[in-house]
Homo-oligomer: A and B are copies of this chain.
Amino acid sequence: MTGPRYPSLIASLPETVPFVGPEVQERARGAEFAARLGANENVFGPSPKAVTAMQAATADLWKYADPTNFDLRNALSTHLTCTPENLIVGEGIDGLLGYLVRLLVDKGDAVVTSDGAYPTFNYHVAGFGGVLHKLPYHDDHENLEALLDKAAEVDAKLVYFANPDNPMGTWIDGARIEAALDRIPDGTVLILDEAYIEFAPKGTAPNIDPNDPRVIRFRTFSKGYGMAGARVGYGIAAPALIRAFDKIRNHFGMNRASQVGALAALLDPEWLAQTVANVTASKLEIDRIAAQNGLSTLPSATNFVAIDCGGNGDFARAVLAGLIARGVFVRMPFVAPQDRCIRISAGRPQDLTEFEQALPEALQAARTPA
């Protein structure tokens, strides 16, 4: 009865999770969070039209979803001014990142990212045996040109760059990305993760030919469209790379109601505009609360704000623990020097009231020697 024999790569992987879910923490503390501001979820929720569409589709869930995501890709192609052949729809950006890494990264292949950028990408790279090269943030920004130069140095298959960035919320102009495209080395693909693009100022999204073989962009319905739990992300790339996903993806992996909901959400730009306005107002409130506690915030092009707690990582971790203990779910960067900050997702007024009450106490507790 020996059971499974794991390949050496699998045997070497840790049983770790990129993120611990808030429900897990709630069970550990024996109480629900009073405010859920840790996962950059969009508490303003999906468009009511998307909700109605998904509810109507629920009784139809005996059917598998269309494996080609035809209707959604068609609508997205109009929205983005590209062709459906430039689009892959999948189970969130997380799912698509996993497929992309599998498509390109063989054991030992080099991959470049920033130290402290999206850990789920790193998880996928490790999971397929890639070798991660991490560059430091520059002044709390991912450093695109340095990442591309590093890619040339290590002959990387993939470079990860998020604009706007998570977890700091910083961003660079689209024009700077356009200017950097010619730095992409031969044989390297630049991942441009635009999960938060709907919250960013005009000009943040670069103009990139969707047929450019050097770039794949990822976007999602999880953030701006408020549908994280529906699991719909998409990639924009040259048709040859898009078709390659068909070699390996879970063709029938999409939820049928989610397809319908994403389509309805895309066709309700008024709701998106209102969400962005709500998020903007909420970020100003977070700035105000931080200032009230003598703390500074980073400018943000996302639906969250990084608050500089004014100390080192241990201090910020103590503040975070104090917030969690007081019923406010938040997260923070994993890596120094970004880990001097905590990261607060935009919330409704009632969510920020919880945060406003908890923050001074958490700061006080963190400053008090145990």
Contact = CB atoms under 8 A, between A and B. Distances in A.
Interface stretch (A4-12, A134-142, A145-153, A349-357): A4-12
A213 interface: yes
Contact of A62 (B102, B109, B229): B229
Q: Considering residues A63, A68, A102, which has the most beta carbons from chain B within 10 angstroms of its beta carbon? A: A63
A94 interface: yes
Contact of A213 (B1, B16, B46, B254): B1
B250 A95 contact: yes
Contacts of A231: 252-255
Interface in A9-50: 9-10, 13-19, 21, 23-24, 27, 36, 39, 41-46
Contact of A244 (B10, B23, B106, B258): B10
Contacts of A23: 66, 68, 70
Nearest to A2: B186
B246 A61 contact: no
Interface of A: 1-7, 9-10, 13-19, 21, 23-24, 27, 36, 39, 41-46, 51, 54-55, 57-68, 70, 91-92, 94-95, 98, 102-106, 109, 127, 157, 186-187, 189, 212-214, 222, 226-231, 238, 240-241, 243-244, 246-248, 250-258, 261
In the A-B complex, the 10 residue pairs with the closest CB atoms: A3-B213, A229-B256, A7-B106, A23-B66, A61-B229, A13-B247, A62-B226, A55-B55, A2-B186, A45-B62
